[in-house]
């Protein structure tokens, strides 16, 4: 897709990292194209997330920006300067590694001081910045501990402090929360957002967790098979996915057949909706997306503007109930109903006839 | 030794099978009984290796006062220290070159070549060195310790290489990536991260090489020039004449020194990184 369509809302923002037609091919026993002509501009002070399943190339792109691998083709520019051929120690970019990679033979404070010492900063300045960083990640009390003697969450904070201490132009985070348990992960998500806004550093965050991406990011790039499929703010990515892969990867989806004509889509199952049409999609047969929470169901015959179906399964999951339906066209559809307090309207029963209502604006045309 | 026993799967034990306990006892007896007797008789007051005549340290005093023993002991230590040090430096570089480089053609072959001396029978190496060094000695007229140091260094390299390589292989390479990411040059990455973390492996390699050199008889016997006896070759020479518990005393000292070094070696290699 054309990345410029997603950036036109703020073209005035300065670009921190520009990935320009980058390909990465690993030549081993067989050739692997880890990145395939990827172009994207990451803005200054942005929390930017690379989201995709394992093997999609997100970590490779991060390693290329850090300098651990050279691109096979294309260029990576930092503040307009081509850094594609610079070794990692000459790039003003720091990384938080997936396994933290803390130096086990050094204390917490020595780990944080390492980058500053390598930059040749005077002792007093190193000391001052280390103290600042310890305060920033709330680790002052543990500064003399060995890194093996602190918990996973604390190691995570030290890794962050160590990477932030030299005040890099860009901070790269390679699935830094994946080793933490759910509760700690939620806390660290908030912590990371706080650190990003307090330091004003551009964050490039790699994850395969869609919820993490949606809650934390200013913008998300969804990747698959070495390509960036879509770039945009979380809301756009969730509500206006351009392709079936993006829709499927993020959230729950219903894919329905429809006919597109003059900005309106008529579902095969019935009903005509005003739709947003992505670039390059022409009138005719299309595939559309309806999120399960944008559909409601009630028992009984379908009235006007409603779609008739049969209830196949009802799944209770605490805050919601998901109703699985079979439409007259044979298509499967799910509707997600928020649960009312006890005694409220019950979901229709399995095997009964039901009517589906789709909220206006909830139908999204997909490109594939 | 200080090595920890392997963790056993629960629920299955060979203890119930016949023969294991008996064989184990017999093996330990066969291994340690002669050594125990050797150590015991080093404290014998008499001159016999077979008849106990009371406790005494006379053979230790006699060995310590024996100029030939002193001379051989100093030479052994000098030789072991020189050879182990040179071998460890070479082995450290070899270990780095075989673990901290991208794959290159012939890497597997180089790995095999480094370890090959472990598989060549020692007598073959000894004869080969004898022939080569004899020619060099005739050609140059030079007969210093250099030949022994060279020979010992050669067979010590694979012993020093193994623990160092093992250490490097278990080390997380993302630590070096992190150092580079934090502005460390390749040299600073080595000095501040790789070297301190591989240090236990280097010390272990040095100690193992030291013990192996201290212990060597066959190659030393073939390579040494006149008057270049080490402790083991001196003892071998003594056996051809009259055997007194002095040999036991020297053996016991070597045994204790070796045991201390090997114990330290296991402690260093089994410690988590």
B145-176 per-position pLDDT tens digit: 899 999 999 999 999 999 999 999 999 889 99
Domain at B66-270: CATH code: 1.10.3720.10
What is the percent of chain B with per-residue pLDDT over 70, rounded to a whole number? 95
pLDDT of residue A344: 57
d(CA B101, CA B194): 13
pLDDT of the residue at A182: 84
Q: Closest residue of B to A167, CA-based?
A: B182
Burial string for B78-107 (b: 16+ CB within 10 Å, else e) reads ebbbbbbbbbbebbbebbbebbeeeeeeee
* Residue of chain A with shortest Cα separation from B196: A105
Tell me how far CA of residue A356 lies from CA of A273, A290, A301, B251, in angstroms.
14, 12, 10, 93
Confidence at residue B9, expressed as pLDDT on a 0 to 100 scale: 58
Asked if the model's pLDDT at residue B2 lies above 50, the reply is no
Closest residue to B180, CB basis, from A87, A103, A162: A87
Q: Which two tokens stand for residue A77?
A: 């520019």
Provide the CATH topology of domain A4-92+168-239.
Rossmann fold (3.40.50)
Q: Residue B260: pLDDT above 50?
A: yes
pLDDT value, residue A13: 66
pLDDT of B272 over the 60 cut? no
Average pLDDT (B90-103) is: 90
Furthest-apart CA pair in chain A: how many Å? 78
Cα–Cα distance for residue pair A126/A158, rounded to 1 Å: 16
Give the A:B interface size as CB pairs under 8 Å: 62
The C-alpha atoms of residue A166 and residue A306 are separated, in whole angstroms, by: 60
What six digits make up the tokens of B236? 């071998």
Q: What pLDDT score does A109 carry?
A: 94
Partner-chain contact A114 B184, CB within 8 Å: yes
User: What is the mean pLDDT of the segment spanning B251-267?
Assistant: 87
Domain boundaries, chain A: 4-92+168-239, 252-365
Using a CB-CB cut-off of 8 Å, the residues of chain B touching A90 are 183
* pLDDT band for position B5 (cuts 50, 70, 90): low
pLDDT for A86: 93
> What's the pLDDT score for residue A60?
94
CA distance B259 to B34: 16
Look at residue A124 and give its three-state secondary structure. helix
In this prediction the ipTM stands at 0.81
Chain A closest-CA separation from residue B176 CA (Å): 9
Chain A residue whose CA is closest to B185 = A89
> What is the percent of chain B with per-residue pLDDT over 90, rounded to a whole number?
53
Mutate to test the interface with B, among A28, A70, A89, A166 (most CBs of B within 10 A): A89
Q: Can you tell me the distance from the alpha carbon of A360 to that of A313, in angstroms, rounded to the nearest whole number?
A: 25
C-beta atoms surrounding A108 within 10 Å: 28
Give me the CATH code for the A252-365 domain, please.
2.40.50.140
Element (H, E) at A255: strand A254-261
Which segments of chain A have a pLDDT < 50?
Answer: 1-12
pLDDT single digits (tens) A210-250: 989 999 999 999 999 999 999 999 999 998 898 889 999 99
pLDDT of residue A102: 94
Interface of A with B in 245-284 (CB under 8 A): none
Mean pLDDT score of chain B, rounded to an integer?
Answer: 88
Query: Residue A283's pLDDT is what?
Result: 86
Rounded alpha-carbon distances, angstroms, from residue A213 to A39, A209, A236: 20, 6, 13
Highest mean pLDDT among A172-181, B23-32, B134-143: B23-32
Which residue pairs, CB below 8 angstroms and at least 24 apart, start in A176-185?
A: A176/A96, A176/A97, A176/A98, A176/A100, A176/A205, A177/A207, A177/A209, A177/A212, A178/A98, A178/A207, A178/A209, A179/A98, A179/A99, A179/A152, A180/A152, A180/A153, A180/A156, A184/A152, A184/A153, A185/A212
Would you state the pLDDT for residue A12? 46
pLDDT tens, A2-50?
444 444 444 446 899 999 999 999 887 788 889 999 999 999 999 999 9
């Amino acid at each position: 897709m054309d990345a410029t369509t997603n950036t036109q809302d703020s073209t005035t923002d300065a670009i921190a990292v520009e990935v320009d037609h980058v390909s990465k091919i690993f030549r081993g026993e067989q050739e692997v194209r880890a990145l395939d002509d990827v172009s994207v501009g990451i803005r200054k002070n942005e929390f930017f997330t690379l989201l995709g399943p394992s093997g999609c190339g997100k970590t490779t792109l991060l390693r290329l920006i850090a300098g651990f691998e050279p691109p096979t083709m294309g260029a990576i520019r930092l503040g307009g300067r081509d850094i594609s051929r610079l070794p990692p120690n000459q790039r003003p970019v720091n990384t938080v590694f997936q396994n933290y990679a803390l130096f086990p033979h050094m204390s917490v404070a020595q780990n944080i001081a390492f980058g500053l010492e390598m930059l040749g900063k005077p002792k007093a300045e190193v000391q001052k910045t280390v103290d600042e960083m310890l305060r920033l990640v709330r680790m002052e009390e543990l500064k003399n501990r060995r890194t093996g003697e602190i918990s996973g969450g604390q190691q995570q904070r030290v890794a962050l402090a160590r990477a932030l201490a030299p005040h890099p132009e860009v901070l790269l985070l390679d699935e830094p929360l994946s080793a933490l348990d759910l509760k700690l992960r939620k806390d660290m998500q908030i912590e990371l957002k706080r650190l990003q806004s307090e330091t004003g550093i551009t964050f490039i965050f790699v994850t395969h967790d869609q919820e993490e991406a949606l809650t934390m990011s200013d913008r998300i790039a969804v990747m698959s098979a070495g390509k960036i499929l879509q770039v945009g703010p979380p809301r756009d990515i969730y509500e206006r996915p351009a392709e079936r892969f993006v829709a499927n990867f993020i959230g729950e989806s219903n894919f329905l057949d429809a006919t597109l004509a003059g900005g309106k889509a008529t579902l095969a199952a019935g009903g005509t909706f005003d739709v947003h049409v992505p670039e390059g999609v022409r009138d005719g047969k299309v595939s559309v997306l309806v999120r399960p929470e944008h559909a409601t169901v009630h028992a009984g015959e379908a009235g006007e503007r409603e779609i008739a179906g049969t209830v196949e399964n009802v799944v209770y999951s605490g805050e919601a109930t998901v109703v699985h339906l079979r439409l007259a066209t044979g298509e499967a559809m799910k509707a997600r109903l928020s649960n009312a307090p006890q005694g409220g309207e019950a979901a229709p029963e399995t095997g009964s006839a039901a009517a589906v209502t789709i909220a206006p604006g909830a139908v999204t045309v997909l490109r594939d | 030794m200080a090595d920890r026993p392997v963790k056993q799967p629960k629920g299955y034990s060979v203890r119930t099978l016949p023969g294991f306990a008996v064989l184990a006892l017999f093996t330990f007896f066969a291994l340690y009984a002669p050594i125990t007797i050797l150590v015991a008789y080093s404290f014998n007051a008499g001159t016999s290796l077979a008849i106990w005549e009371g406790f005494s340290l006379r053979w230790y005093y006699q060995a310590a006062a024996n100029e030939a023993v002193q001379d051989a002991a100093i030479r052994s230590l000098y030789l072991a220290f020189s050879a182990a040090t040179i071998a460890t430096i070479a082995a450290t570089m070899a270990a780095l070159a075989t673990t901290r480089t991208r794959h290159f053609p012939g890497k597997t072959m180089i790995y095999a070549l480094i370890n090959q001396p472990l598989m060549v029978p020692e007598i073959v190496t000894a004869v080969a060195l004898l022939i080569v060094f004899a020619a060099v000695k005739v050609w140059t007229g030079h007969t210093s310790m250099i030949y022994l140091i060279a020979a010992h260094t050669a067979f010590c390299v694979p012993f020093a290489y193994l623990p160092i390589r093992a250490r490097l292989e278990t080390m997380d390479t993302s630590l070096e990536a992190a150092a580079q990411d934090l502005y460390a040059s390749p040299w600073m990455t080595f000095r501040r991260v790789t070297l301190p973390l591989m240090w236990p492996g280097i010390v272990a390699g040095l100690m193992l090489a030291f013990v192996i050199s201290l212990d060597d008889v066959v190659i030393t016997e073939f390579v040494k020039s006149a008057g270049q006896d080490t402790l083991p070759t001196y003892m071998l020479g003594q056996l051809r004449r009259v055997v007194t518990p002095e040999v036991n005393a020297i053996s016991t000292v070597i045994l204790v020194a070796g045991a201390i070094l090997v114990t330290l070696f296991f402690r260093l290699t089994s410690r988590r990184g």
